[in-house]
Amino acid sequence: MLSARSIFEEIRSNDETFRLFCSVASKNELQGGWENARIADLTRDPELAAKIARHGADEEKHGRLFAALLKKRGLEPAAVPADMDYCMLLERKGIGLAHERLHREEPLGDEEILRYLVHSRVTEQRASEEIDQQERIFRGDPELGKAVQVIADDEVNHLAYCHEELLRFSAAGHAETIERMLKQYALAEVDTYRDVALRTMGRFADTLGWPRWKKGVLRIGVQLLWLWERAWGWRRMVRLEPPERKNAMAPRGSAFPSPSAGG
């Protein structure tokens, strides 16, 4: 039976596929950490900047966790092919803030902050769903359990903060812009995710020596997910709701009051 659990178990049991999986994850997380740190430096609102900086620190932590999993097995990081680089492929589609912009010492305007927050809202939805699935599969696993549990909890905070900040900007008169950007970014992410999934899973399947029928079933599954997401599923990435965790990304030990305080 070709299930998510069986696929992940095969990937983790083979050193080469595990090496590529952790290398891709580590690169994306570390890149996200650098981007968030730069955005925090260029953000004029000190409270928002502090939250973005904490987001960046979390991403760097996740990158180190995946790197540590490789080291524990005695594996060196693998080079990540350009056509599997999810973050850079999104950037080339104009999603979020380009690295060229982040290298400039110039404070970000409101529209640029919105581009960052909308990008985070959409991509953190994907990240949260993926790590939730891995946490369910590897909960209690001595090798992976602790790492995926830490990351899954952080992703709840990241999504909560994206909802909170975008709702704040919506209330300040940016609702129309946010709605338009969310749909544009979600549809671009769905297409990019499909392309990266096909290439990455294709590499895994070749390394694991899967028969043609098994590769075909996997490709069909990825395409069916893409069709559902293009037709309807993208809407889950654009909803904005007050989160259960209030002020989730305030710096640890911060004096910033929680919106839920006092009631």
Number of domains in the chain: 1
DSSP-derived secondary structure letter, 140: T
Residue 254, pLDDT > 70, answer: no
Tokens of 238: 């654009």
- What is the predicted pLDDT for the residue at 246? 92
Residue 189, pLDDT > 50, answer: yes
| pLDDT tens for each residue of 143-155 | 999 999 999 999 9
Hey, what amino acid is at 122? V
| pLDDT tens for each residue of 153-173 | 999 999 999 999 999 999 999
Tokens of 159: 């999504």
* Of 257 and 65, more confident: 65
Band of pLDDT at residue 2, cut at 50, 70 and 90? confident
Domain contains 246: no
Let me know if 144 is exposed, middle or buried by CB neighbors in 10 A (0-12, 13-18, 19+): buried
- What is the predicted pLDDT for the residue at 259? 38
Domain contains 248: no
Report the pLDDT averaged over residues 217-239.
97
Q: How far apart are CA 27 and CA 43, in angstroms?
A: 24
Domain contains 185: yes
CATH of the domain at 88: 1.20.1260.10
Band of pLDDT at residue 46, cut at 50, 70 and 90? very high
Domain contains 104: yes
Structural domain containing residue 159 = 4-237
Chain CA centroid to CA 131, Å: 9
Chain CA centroid to CA 181, Å: 18
Domain contains 115: yes
Domain contains 243: no
Tokens of 168: 């704040």
Which ranges constitute the DSSP H helices of 139-174? 145-169
Domain contains 125: yes
Q: How far apart are CA 122 and CA 188, in angstroms?
A: 10
> Which residues, in sequence order, are CB contacts of 46 under 8 Å at separation 6+?
none
Closest C-alpha among 33, 32, 29, 31 to residue 68: 29
- What is the predicted pLDDT for the residue at 250? 87
- CB atoms closer than 10 angstroms to residue 5: 12
Size (the chain), residues:
263
Tokens of 179: 């709605």
| Global pTM value | 0.92
CA distances from 23 to 14, 106, 111, 170, 207 (A): 14, 32, 33, 37, 15
